[in-house]
Amino acid sequence: MIRQDDAQAARVGIVTGAGSGIGRAAALELLRNGWSIALLGRRREPLVEIAHAREFAGRALALPCDVSDARAVAASFDAVVARFGRLDLLFNNAGVGNPPGPFDTWTPAQWRGVVDVNLNGMFFCLQSAFRIMSAQTPRGGRIINNGSLSAWAPRPNSMAYTATKHAVAGLTRCASLDGRALDIAVGQIDVGNAHSALASAMAQGVPQANGELAAEPLIDVEIVGRSVAYMASLPLDANVLFHTVMATKMPFVGRG
């Protein structure tokens, strides 16, 4: 019989974009809750900083990875299984913001740069997680995609980011359906105005739908980390399909 402490220690997750912002907050919260976590991100230094923390000794693995590179993703996921033996959770979080300026000034490379990370990268990670979770024993696991409120309503001049986040909602629905037969639960967290590199400008003032510039309230990114940990804590026969966590007074409901 496996003791509760052992069962907790056996839980293995991957967090992409783990070096900063929402990914870092989620990784730290999961580690504090007893998970073993592989930290994926483009920059090695912030990943190593978490992995070398004494309190997480042996449970945190730093894996520099560009999620837009399908081969790098597959190799990283294989490394997680080689180290920890299985995969119970993917927080599919890595993402980039919009190119600057109006969309009619963007180059094809700027457009593709957002799509490669926010959509292709999320698909590659989802695909690798499905392959592992469907074949392991016990079978199954959980995937949480980072959607954003932009999966539901755009901001001015946000076409690349909004288009990819709308696509993420489609990935979530399809993967949730396809995961049923494989004991894989797939959900999405949609975050509004958490303190991160992508959202820091909100406090200074951002364009509104009526053309005005207005500062918006933000929430502590640790709140998002706790939300991810809650979704991850559920048994596989329960799923949060879409979870919205946002600053109470931000202009989302009624936007426009």
Active site residues: 161, 165
- The rounded distance, in Å, linking the Cα atoms of 75 and 63 is 10
3-state secondary structure of 185: strand
CA distances to 13, 112, 172, 231 from 225, rounded to whole Å, are 14, 29, 19, 10
- Residue whose entry in the numeric block shows the structure tokens 């957002």: 114
For residue 190, the cross-strand partners are 244
φ and ψ at 213, to 5 degrees?
-105, 125
- The rounded distance, in Å, linking the Cα atoms of 219 and 4 is 33
